Homo-oligomer: A and B are copies of this chain.
Amino acid sequence: MDSQYIQSLLTRYKSGKITSAEILRSLKNFSSESLGFATIDHHRHFRQGFPEVIFCQGKTASQVAQIAKKIVTYKSPLLATRATRQHFTRTKKVIPTAKYYPDARVITANEPRIQKVSKRPILIVTAGTSDIAVAEEAALTARMFGRSTDRLYDVGVAGIHRLLQRSHQLYEASVIIVVAGMDGALPSVIGGMVNVPVIAVPTSTGYGASFNGVAALLTMLNSCAAGVLVVNIDNGFGAGFAASLMTQHL
């Protein structure tokens, strides 16, 4: 329920298409709506420019479907992350237009149009092939904000020439999301090459002393390149969300 939605209610009211009672009914849940097991924050769309996002992990398929249904009621874009196919199947029943991206484990509906490609895109880079699932979650999140995105995958520092050869992609980006596991060294290198913010996403890729992403997380927090910001391990969504906030006025 963003400002656009409320504006349309008012317009339709003025032109006599709906009554004030209908407006009031719509606004009843403007702030939040309780499902017992969930208190949906409809106000968030108005406040943050994006509606509540469903983190599916730890929720039943039924819970996800019910929350999703409430969100799309107000024409809001739907984004559900960490979704299994079970979550999707149940959601699809109540929202037939819902789409599933298995690589990114994401469910969407009401996808917005993408901004013109002429704008400087959000660039998403991965160090390795195993980091792609997290990168795609970031890319889809940015897409749900209508941002244009660009990708540069498997260019980790063990073969630094792969990155240097594509440096033009780095220089064209408005924000760069760098997804890396194991040594997590890539954001430091990229952070030293560009003058835009770098959002570093550690992944749980690796083994042994990678401690499921802790090694990469620490590397990124200690980056000797300024301008590197960090999100939680495997948190592609958070990176895509923040990158979208940063580019809202570009």
Contact = CB atoms under 8 A, between A and B. Distances in A.
Contact of A47 (B34, B193, B208, B246): B193
A135 to B, nearest CB: 10
Interface stretch (A11-19, A38-46, A92-100, A105-113): A38-46
Given A188-B185, A229-B230, A246-B246, A235 B208 contact: yes
Contact of A204 (B39, B208, B223, B226): B208
A213 B208 contact: yes
Contacts of A82: 207
Interface residues of A, number: 93
29 contacts: A32-B165, A37-B132, A38-B154, A39-B153, A39-B154, A39-B155, A39-B159, A43-B161, A47-B193, A157-B188, A157-B192, A158-B191, A160-B193, A185-B185, A185-B188, A196-B245, A207-B234, A211-B218, A215-B219, A218-B219, A221-B230, A221-B231, A222-B232, A226-B237, A226-B238, A226-B241, A227-B238, A227-B241, A249-B250
Given A159-B192, A207-B232, 19 more contacts: A37-B153, A39-B153, A41-B159, A82-B207, A156-B224, A157-B189, A183-B188, A183-B222, A184-B219, A184-B222, A197-B246, A207-B233, A208-B212, A208-B232, A208-B235, A211-B218, A215-B218, A218-B218, A227-B242
